[in-house]
Amino acid sequence: MTRIDKLYAKILDNPQLRISFKDFEALLTAFGFEMHRQKGSHRHYKHPDVPIILTVQPRGKDAMPYQVKRLLEVVRDYDLHM
């Protein structure tokens, strides 16, 4: 099991878990999202099979919990895999 797989398992168990923004971006990439553009601290990620764009930004060095929860919803709704 890779580090990203372990992280994904942890946030599935506890979506409110604080994770670093760097790890959050690694999760986005692992699920096939690519950074589309950036404006200030806001980074826009898109996926070829998902019609929405995820906008994320760090809170200090951590990912915001609502953004982690949103990623989990998109992964579930669009049946995405690493």
Which pLDDT score, from 0 to 100, does residue 15 have?
86
List pLDDT tens digits, range 5-40. 999 999 999 988 999 999 999 999 999 999 999 999
Question: What percent of the chain shows pLDDT beyond 70?
Answer: 100
Which pLDDT score, from 0 to 100, does residue 62 have?
95
Contact 50, 30 (CB under 8 A): no
CB-based contacts of 56-62 (< 8 A; 24+ apart in sequence)? 56/21, 56/24, 56/25, 56/28, 58/21, 59/21, 61/20, 61/21, 61/22, 62/18, 62/19, 62/20, 62/21
Q: Where are the domains of the chain?
A: 3-77
Q: What's the CATH class of domain 3-77?
A: alpha beta
Q: pLDDT category, 1, cuts 50, 70, 90?
A: confident
